[in-house]
Amino acid sequence: MDQKTNHSNHVAIVTGGGQGIGLCIAQSFLQAGMNVVVAEHNASLQSKAEAFLDAGEKLLFKQTDVSSETSVQAMVEQTVKRLGRIDFLINNAATACNLPMYTMPIDALTFKQWQTVLGVNLSGPFLCTKYCKPYIEKNKGAIVNIASTRASMSESNKLIAYSASKGGLVSLTHALANSLGPTIRVNCISPGWVVTDTYQHGRTKTELSQADHTQHPAGRVGRPEDIAEMARYLCSEKAGFITGQNFVIDGGMTKKMIYAE
């Protein structure tokens, strides 16, 4: 975030901000001096997120189902009523529908599961953008969508609906950038393997091997801060000439040729 800009009255909405990458993004924006709305579906995370962020009145936790139009409308209305404005929207909320080990062939994937994943991961960003637009437009703000490297690469019988939703989100990004510009810039971040233990409220630490790190050209597995820093930059004045782009942050893995030996 541009350190020369006073962000004390700016407002950022982070969907799915109760844990993981979203919680790290919320923390990063709060550290920049902004007011942050954590729009989180899981109400049980409220006390944990509030204690972790320790931001007092700078933080508003609003239970939100981003796949529900009425829920999104209520979240936006409460944000404006409480904080008076919206400058930035981080569309981070996502689900894989709790599929067993994330592995399920298409003939076992139910239509209801498919709809649930697309409802949160793709319709959610659409709805949040639709209802935040007039406020972000007024302040010439920015939108950042959090997609995934699975938008462009896949594993057999794994996360079929999730991959489709993230591919749609990348395309939605450039569609919105052209439709909402020049007053609103819209960009996308596609994380690779990011270990989020520090932002999971005490979850058992993931055991990583040296091979886990060294298989990445960058030499390590990703951290939530890698994504949060890019989100802050894309919302800053320094990124004023950047819109419609998808930034892959994966330690170089999608650029690595892998052949069976």
How many alpha carbons fall within 13 Å on the CB side of residue 103? 3
> In this structure, are strands 246-249 and 185-191 parallel, antiparallel, or unpaired?
parallel
SS3 at position 74: helix
What distances in angstroms separate CA 217 from CA 125, 151, 211, 257, one per listed residue? Answer: 31, 20, 11, 11
Active site residue 162: yes
Q: How far apart are CA 138 and CA 68, in angstroms?
A: 25
Q: Of the candidates 113, 116, 15, 109, which has an alpha carbon nearest to the alpha carbon of residue 67?
A: 116
Q: Specify the length of the chain in residues.
A: 261
**194-223 b/e (C-beta count within 10 Å ≥ 16 → b):** bbbeebbbeeeeeeeeeeeeebbeeeebbb
Check: CB of residue 163 under 8 Å from CB of residue 157. Answer: no
The owner of tokens 């419609």 is 244
SS3 at position 242: coil
Q: Name the catalytic one among 162, 199, 233, 259.
A: 162
SS3 at position 258: coil
- Active-site residues, by number, are 162
